[in-house]
Structure 1
Amino acid sequence: MVRKLKEKELLYITFINIESPPDSGSAVRPLKMLQAFKELGVQVKVISGQTNRIQERKLAVKEAMDYLKLHSPDFCYIEPPSGPMFYSGDLNLIRLLHRQNIPTGLFYRDAYWMFPEYSFETKLSLIKWLKFIVIRAMQKHQLKIFTKCITVMYFPSKTMSGFFKLKRKELLPPGCFLADTYCKKAFNNPLHYIFVGGAAINHGTVLTLEAFTMANRKEIIATLTYVCPKEQWKRLGINVQNYRPWLTLVHTSGDENLKILYDKADVAILTAPRTTYRDFAAPIKLMEYLSYLKPILVTNCTETARIISENHIGWVVEENSQSICDKLLELADNPDEIHEIKKGIESAREKNLWIHRAEKVIYDLDNTVSSTLSTE
């Protein structure tokens, strides 16, 4: 790079309230990327505000416009909302960045709108279906603007990037942080697993409970702490008492609350059924598990399996309760398998830190003529 990083100026646009604790994976990523840019020494101008609060976005866009009258940042990086941008001024801001020839990267977070079968588990009412049609139209329109105005579009996985034909696209999967933890050498007896995420049929809740029930039929060989939002668990209508004594249900969030739960666990788990969308998703939760140095058991969703296999950080099984059960039984009989995974888990975390993701963005935007991903 021509100048040192500390002399670089970055306009960072996000659609969350950066002062509030993150309540989902989509809120975690913008905060981690912001922290990583600052750790690199880049001078960051932050524009934030929630997408569904129009007045908040109006003020945010005005702040950005005023900033651009007095400054010419080296780059701009955008962490958009999961859904569409509801305030048209945000799109005008992107057009302005394009007109001013400011290299701009945008992380294309989600494509739920392309796969309605994943978004909805029950038949929609007419009003909800019409709402979905409007949202999808907004997403298509905004994608056209991104295609014209964004210098580099980032995607969480290669599989997902293949759905989009763009001039310049790059991969920017989720990253790790250096959690204040240690690599356990002794295991619980029985082995203790942890899941942190959502509670829904398409999140694999039922699949996971079925597998643990089967594995513990004769004797308890695996216990599970299931961490999820309280409201989501209530909607499932599952009575946790039916799964005692091997299941512990916890409703909490935040690194300070999760740390003690992770430290107690031997293995983390993400066992969900395959869908088109889940095949190209790169769950941020995998990297959180890795941040806490947890070996990971997953089902064979394409990109999830790729992350596990390429980094040698766990095991991949078929997306059915019997396959998951078989692996639980195998690990109970052969805990040395966990030791083997742990040998390389710290180096895997080091290779996948958030700061490396931020470095890539700066490098890409500083070298916008470099090679692109194939659109095939």
Structure 2
Amino acid sequence: MHRRSAKDETRPRPRLLYYAMYDPTAQDSAPKVRIRLLAEALAERADLTVIWGSRGQRLGPSLRWLRRQGMGSVDAVYVESSTSTPMPYDLALFAWARLRGRPLGIYFRDAYQLFRDLYPVTARRQHLADLAWRLTLPISRHLATVRFVPSAGLARVMGLAEALVLPPGTDPSLPNLGLGPDGPLVAAIAAPTPSADIRLLLQAMAIVRERHPDARLRLIGRFADTSKWPGWVEIMTSDRTGLAELLRPASACVIPRRRTPYTDLAVPIKLTDLLAFGKPIVATATDASRAFVEDPDAVLFVLDTPEDLAAGIVRVLDEPALAQTLADRAR
């Protein structure tokens, strides 16, 4: 727990408890990056008291803050929820905020638990976690005076009436990388799951290499076993601070999401960073991504087939004017 403040202003600054259910110390995932960036932005506008951490990290700071400062020291509470279930002490803190008359804004991050046909679970522990999420969602929904969501679609499936859309953001100070040097290097910030996205990208790149035999794929992420992958795939790992240098030489950046009922609702957070980096982007055309990108010339959207994704990548590699337009309009 710590307190952040920025320059004094003539009018009283609001006092905000910023409660985040992740430890953002290591900037190695999208939610952690979001939490830190949002904290820095809020500190410019409010006197910020921050409590953040994993399940085992939040309880102690919360109890100490309640004992030493308490709800009387803040005007409102904002919560960055995790993708999993809030703990009982989280819900108790939220209820106490309401009892003390404090506005409570909760950011409902995700709802993949409602799409287990797409993201199946097998372990008993995972089934119990899903059940707990379904039981606690209505409680959080009821306690929140303001409900924030990444997209209107997610608000709809979670039953969040009058929700405010708070889409993914990024750091405006990120370097403008622009076009990469000559050479067909394609880059993607990727995760091992869902595996269908990776298969789509590998299949597309195999087609790209029929036209550009020297094309290479740089995957930035953590993958356990890549021993059977083609030699033209290189795996690199980095937290957010190293992304710029890994993406800089890329001629195109790709977001290969299979279109599903879930991906049509959720905006990939990596999209905002790639736009801020000013890279030519080829992305599969999910409803959420297309709605998020207002400029039709900022991203080359394609269908979610290997052939269409490959055709989009080839266009960026073969058409310098198109690549330059995408890079320019991304920023």
TM, length-normalised to structure 1: 0.79
Q: Does 1:21 align with 2:7?
A: no
CA distance in 1: counterparts of 2:130 and 2:113, whole angstroms: 5
What is the correspondence of 1:121-140 to structure 2 with a 5 Å cutoff? 124=122, 128=123, 130-140=124-134
Unaligned runs of 5+ in 2: 1-8
- Distance verdict in 2 for CA 1:163–1:341, change over 3 Å: same
1:6 Cα offset (Å): 6.2
What is the correspondence of 1:1-376 to structure 2 with a 5 Å cutoff? 7-18=13-24, 20-38=25-43, 40-51=44-55, 53=56, 56-66=57-67, 69=70, 71-85=72-86, 87-120=87-120, 124=122, 128=123, 130-184=124-178, 187-202=180-195, 204-220=197-213, 222-231=215-224, 234=225, 237=226, 239-240=228-229, 242-244=230-232, 247-255=233-241, 257-310=242-295, 312-346=297-331
Structure having greater relative contact order (Cα 8 Å, sep ≥ 6): 1
| Residues 285-338 of structure 1 deviation map (CA, whole Å, 9 limit, x = unaligned) | 111112211221111221123223546421111111000111122223322112
CA distance in 2: counterparts of 1:203 and 1:62, whole angstroms: 43
1:273 Cα offset (Å): 1.1
SS in 2 for 1:71: helix
- Distance verdict in 2 for CA 1:65–1:262, change over 3 Å: same
CA distance in 2: counterparts of 1:283 and 1:209, whole angstroms: 19
| Residues 86-124 of structure 1 deviation map (CA, whole Å, 9 limit, x = unaligned) | x3111111001111121111110111211112323xx72
Task: Choose 304-313 or 159-168, whichever is displaced more.
Answer: 304-313
CA distance in 2: counterparts of 1:311 and 1:156, whole angstroms: 21
Counterpart of 2:5 in structure 1 is: none
SS in 2 for 1:261: helix
CA distance in 2: counterparts of 1:189 and 1:344, whole angstroms: 20
Counterpart of 2:3 in structure 1 is: none
TM, length-normalised to structure 2: 0.89
1:269 touches 1:298 (CA, 8 Å); kept in 2?
yes
CA distance in 2: counterparts of 1:274 and 1:63, whole angstroms: 46
Task: Choose 207-216 or 111-120, whichever is displaced more.
Answer: 111-120
1:224 touches 1:248 (CA, 8 Å); kept in 2?
yes
1:179 Cα offset (Å): 4.1
1:17 Cα offset (Å): 2.3
CA distance in 2: counterparts of 1:10 and 1:80, whole angstroms: 16
1:268 Cα offset (Å): 1.4
CA distance in 2: counterparts of 1:179 and 1:70, whole angstroms: 34
1:137 Cα offset (Å): 2.2
Across the aligned residues of Structure 1 and Structure 2, the Cα RMSD in angstroms comes to 2.3
1 or 2, which has the higher helix percentage? Answer: 1
SS in 2 for 1:264: coil
Number of aligned residues: 323
1:223 Cα offset (Å): 3.0
Identity of aligned residues (%): 19
2:184 touches 2:317 (CA, 8 Å); kept in 1?
yes
2:298 touches 2:325 (CA, 8 Å); kept in 1?
no
